[in-house]
Chain A
């Protein structure tokens, strides 16, 4: 169960990070906390950083340092216009994908009678 969830999260984490940053600029640990509040707990919290770097390299987000009173400057991320366009595209893709999967799963629950689940031989000539 946990392994499946991890795999699902792996494929969607970059999109979730982009959506989180789109709400308001934030730093790494804050993102993890916000994802956890929404019900997404990461097995390895640091796995967000390679993805943030990838999003930054592709020009979807940018990082900037904010001076801190209690230590070194903290790196925040904000969304760029290219990232906004990409997020809209990913959202559309995800909604269509999730709807298709949802329909398949609903169909499997309502249509199939487990007692007659075995395939019947085709007796037509």
Chain B
């Protein structure tokens, strides 16, 4: 039996995280999911200490292994739909705060949600949800960098193929447009969803700290994430549209 290096431990952690996310998407109850993840992680650690590969435990197809286990755990679709709440809460808060800032500081009476902003919101939401599944490749591509490079390459190649097939997208096209009264409604709805999400996080967190501390931490994390995303959205929108304008002038 040997002591494991950091590299192997991170491989094990990524694989067990991928399985846990898969089980979450399949609708396995939180308590069972946590137990399954711990059980798998402990088995993987012990097997690795005995010199066995990850494949010895989960087989050549870790996704098939995760699915086989999920099938025996009575999954329920309604449980996986709970994942919609954080996505909706973040998206609505980002949109409503951006709108609010624009109403306050820009001389416009209405706000427009562009295709680019919607794409950024949806793709980052899906990315957060599905990226941990890349851990299924931990047995074949051992480093996180390697897996990130593979995913990036797939994305770039996909974009190039779409471009060469004649696909053109006007990112600045307006998807939705609204004025003050609707912004108020959006801000109120976003606040309600944010409260629900923070409450959900606080109730799921299993730490020794008090409920007020946990709630405060959840609120701070949520507000921080929304603020960071607002900045990313604003900066990248400006960068993309300025680059497009510049490209149009040059060519």
Please tell me if the beta carbons of A44 and B65 are within 8 angstroms of each other in the complex. yes
Stretch at the interface among B34-42, B79-87, B106-114, B232-240: B34-42
B73 at the interface (CB under 8 A from A): yes
Most chain A beta carbons < 10 A, residue from B38, B42, B47, B74 = B42
Please tell me if the beta carbons of A43 and B40 are within 8 angstroms of each other in the complex. no
Please tell me if the beta carbons of B58 and A46 are within 8 angstroms of each other in the complex. yes
Closest residue of B by beta carbon distance from A43: B59
Q: How far is the CB of B175 from chain A (nearest CB, A)?
A: 44
**Count class of interface residues, chain B:** 20 to 34
Please tell me if the beta carbons of B42 and A57 are within 8 angstroms of each other in the complex. no
Contact of B71 among A28, A50, A73, A75 (CB under 8 A): A50
Closest residue of A by beta carbon distance from B35: A75
Interface of chain A residues 14 through 61 with chain B (CB within 8 A): 27-29, 32, 43-47, 49-51, 53-54, 57
Complex CA–CA separation, A45 to B52 (angstroms): 10
A71 at the interface (CB under 8 A from B): yes
18 extra A-B contacts, CB within 8 A, seeds A29-B46, A45-B47, A54-B72: A27-B39, A28-B42, A28-B43, A29-B42, A29-B47, A44-B58, A45-B43, A46-B57, A46-B58, A46-B65, A46-B69, A47-B59, A47-B65, A50-B68, A50-B71, A57-B72, A72-B38, A74-B42
- Across-interface contacts of B72 in A (CB, < 8 A): 50-51, 53-54, 57
- Across-interface contacts of A44 in B (CB, < 8 A): 56-59, 65
Size of chain A's interface in residues, with CB distance under 8 A?
22
Complex CA–CA separation, A44 to B66 (angstroms): 12
Complex CA–CA separation, A53 to B69 (angstroms): 8
Please tell me if the beta carbons of B59 and A49 are within 8 angstroms of each other in the complex. no
Complex CA–CA separation, A27 to B47 (angstroms): 13
- Across-interface contacts of B58 in A (CB, < 8 A): 44, 46
Residue positions of B touching A, CB distance < 8 A: 35-36, 38-40, 42-43, 46-47, 52, 56-59, 65, 68-69, 71-74
Consensus secondary structure, chain A interface: helix
Complex CA–CA separation, A43 to B59 (angstroms): 7
24 interchain pairs (CB within 8 A)? A27-B39, A28-B42, A43-B59, A44-B57, A45-B47, A45-B52, A45-B57, A46-B58, A46-B59, A46-B69, A47-B59, A47-B65, A49-B39, A50-B68, A50-B71, A50-B72, A53-B69, A53-B72, A53-B73, A54-B72, A57-B73, A57-B74, A73-B38, A75-B35
